[in-house]
Structure 1
Amino acid sequence: MPGPGHRSRAGVAAVTAGLLAVSGALAGCSGDRRAEPSPRPTPVWNRSPASVAAVGDSITRGFDACVVLADCPQVSWSTGTDSEVRSLAFRLLGAPATKNRSWNHAQTGAKMSDLPGQMAQAAQREPELVTVMVGANDACQDTARQMTPVDDFRASFEASMRQLRAGAPKAQVYVSSVPDLKRLWSTGRGNPLGRQIWKLGICATMLRDSQDMSERAKKRRDTVYERVVAYNGVLRDVCAKDRRCRYDGGAVFDYRFTGEQLSHWDWFHPSKNGQGRLAEIAYRNVTSAKPPV
């Protein structure tokens, strides 16, 4: 007959075996749960949008890029169809689709106060991506006092984003910085033809008396430069509040346009070559895994 110790050891063995069995069953269930794929959240930024709408000013309209004093939207950096420029839409959608799934609502001469109306138009298309390039005309006035106040610039951009969100809540927004107008002056002032054309009144706050290097003239240009920097700060800050908005990190402002990349009719607006460079910057930033810093 087995002794008490034997019965005790047998009982412990039985209990242990039972616990191991239960533990194994639970582990199997847990393992099954781990094997099930967990749902992944939809990325906020889609790097391959299927449609593009553009809003902004004369740069996005391709002004003076093909013929003098005229828009040339086919070479627009954002939605153009020209195979040499290879616009952002061209690169994202391909040439045939560009004509059917991209729209250019920009207007030559537009300021930030015009953007809410353009955004409302763009929202009606329900695009997957909206490009924004505006602000140069807010700084390009007859006098520095006439430049758009920074607070007004901010209020209009915020209103523009609200207009878009009201009609196209899921549209992504790519915001280009305002170009460095002072650098454009520095590049173009060396061309005699450009200097003569500037006398007609193009961006007088920056380009008037292009050869004047007096302290007064320098101060005027510095004032315009500082206002553009402030505008870009607004674009960055307002965009940062929208989870589907991406600012270019100042890439266009920092870009050093050469004479080849400026219109040979006004030495201020981008040429076809310059439009292509803008398209490259935009495509790089739109398709990047992370937003520019």
Structure 2
Amino acid sequence: MIGRLGSVLAAMLLVSATGPAQAAAAQPVPEIMAALGDSISTGFNACGWYVSCPMRSWSSGDNHEVSSHYLRLSAMSGTLQKHNLTFAVPGATSADLLGQVRKAVAAKADYVTILVGAQDACVATEQDMTPVTTYRSRIDAALAELRAGMPQARVFVASIPDLRRLWQVGRTQPLARTFWTAGRVCQSMLANPTSTKRADAGRRERVRARVMAYNRAAAKACAAFGSGCHSDGGAVFSFPFTLDHVSKWDYFHPNMEGQRILAKQTFEHGFTWDDPR
């Protein structure tokens, strides 16, 4: 659940979209948290062959080697003990976010993390990618539902990883190329991984541009939500991950170390919490 060319600009755009809200006052530690999104937030392939591993989720996991948001917040007050919920689902797109939000509202989650959009871009062809306007409208609808059901909830929106970075670090590795091709993994970006033809290079650039547009759209939706929502300022997108952070089961999803990095990057760019200790 992920080179740097253009990432600084992307981060600047995302930071400007969220504005000064990132410096808001410290928030009380939540009592119930929920992870929403896709396979990255379920810890998919982080501890086994093509299975989710919620214990190693960057958001709601309880594995101390990952040091998730849940464990960091629990360490502050203990109020989250046994209240880490995972409504994220492997393969989910922005179209599934509203349903996940409804589950979070029913569970009375007062802290929600969202990482969704990789599967809107990782499709069979670039023509199949979700339009940016559709992606934004789905994020807006989900956040509106959350505001209506849990007005005091805090929301953290993580940026989608840089899919082109994955191609860059894996394209010279035979095993990575084999998994991508045999498993039809993210073909909009990873098809013909060794090709240097203009058509393939252009396709990769356009898919990357779509991911950047999703990230800007999500950050703007978060800013419109108000001080109760923070985005990561592009921290996940701009992180220079390597194959050491990726599962060797598919060379796509974050492994345990990748999940640990996600947890660190996102928590450091999220809310300032009122630690009662």
Same fold flag (TM > 0.5): yes
Identity between Structure 1 and Structure 2 (%):
40
Coordinate RMSD, CA, aligned: 1.7
Query: Which residue in the other structure is 2:51 paired with?
Result: 70
Displacement of 1:70 in angstroms is 1.1
Query: Which residue in the other structure is 1:277 paired with?
Result: 261
Query: Which residue in the other structure is 1:51 paired with?
Result: 32
Deviations 1:129-157 (A, max 9, x none): 10000000000010111000011101110
> Is residue 267 from structure 1 mapped to residue 265 from structure 2 by the alignment?
no
Structure 2 regions of 5+ residues with no counterpart? Answer: 1-23
Greater RCO, 1 or 2 (C-alpha within 8 Å, sep 6+): 2
Q: 2:107 aligns with which of 110, 113, 125?
A: 125
Displacement of 1:69 in angstroms is 1.2
Query: Which residue in the other structure is 2:171 paired with?
Result: 189
- The whole-number CA distance in structure 2 between the counterparts of 1:126 and 1:44 is 23
> Is residue 175 from structure 1 mapped to residue 157 from structure 2 by the alignment?
yes
> Is residue 143 from structure 1 mapped to residue 125 from structure 2 by the alignment?
yes
- The whole-number CA distance in structure 1 between the counterparts of 2:270 and 2:158 is 11
Q: 1:97 to 1:210 in 2, by over 3 A?
A: farther
On the 8 A contact 2:121/2:207 being kept in 1, the answer is yes
Structure (1 or 2) with the larger CA radius of gyration: 1
- The whole-number CA distance in structure 2 between the counterparts of 1:45 and 1:119 is 24
Displacement of 1:213 in angstroms is 1.1
- The whole-number CA distance in structure 2 between the counterparts of 1:218 and 1:288 is 41
- The whole-number CA distance in structure 2 between the counterparts of 1:280 and 1:47 is 20
Structure 1 regions of 5+ residues with no counterpart? Answer: 1-42
Q: 1:219 to 1:47 in 2, by over 3 A?
A: farther
TM-score by length of 2: 0.85
183-192 vs 86-95, greater mean Cα deviation: 86-95
On the 8 A contact 1:81/1:98 being kept in 2, the answer is no
Query: Which residue in the other structure is 1:240 paired with?
Result: 223
- The whole-number CA distance in structure 1 between the counterparts of 2:28 and 2:269 is 9
- The whole-number CA distance in structure 2 between the counterparts of 1:165 and 1:144 is 33
- The whole-number CA distance in structure 2 between the counterparts of 1:232 and 1:161 is 15
What is the SS of the residue equivalent to 1:222?
A: helix
Displacement of 1:186 in angstroms is 0.8
Matched residue count: 247
- The whole-number CA distance in structure 2 between the counterparts of 1:202 and 1:225 is 16
Matches within 5 A, 1:215-226: 215-226=198-209
Q: 1:215 to 1:160 in 2, by over 3 A?
A: same
- The whole-number CA distance in structure 1 between the counterparts of 2:246 and 2:260 is 11
Q: Which residue identity is paired with 1:259?
A: L
Deviations 1:230-277 (A, max 9, x none): 101101111111121101100000011111111111111101000000
Q: 1:249 aligns with which of 233, 251, 254?
A: 233
After the TM superposition, list the runs of 4 or more consecutive aligned residues in structure 1 that deviate by more than 3 angstroms.
94-99
TM-score by length of 1: 0.81
Q: 2:97 aligns with which of 115, 140, 147?
A: 115
Q: Which residue identity is paired with 2:41?
A: T
Q: 1:228 aligns with which of 189, 211, 227?
A: 211
Displacement of 1:44 in angstroms is 6.3
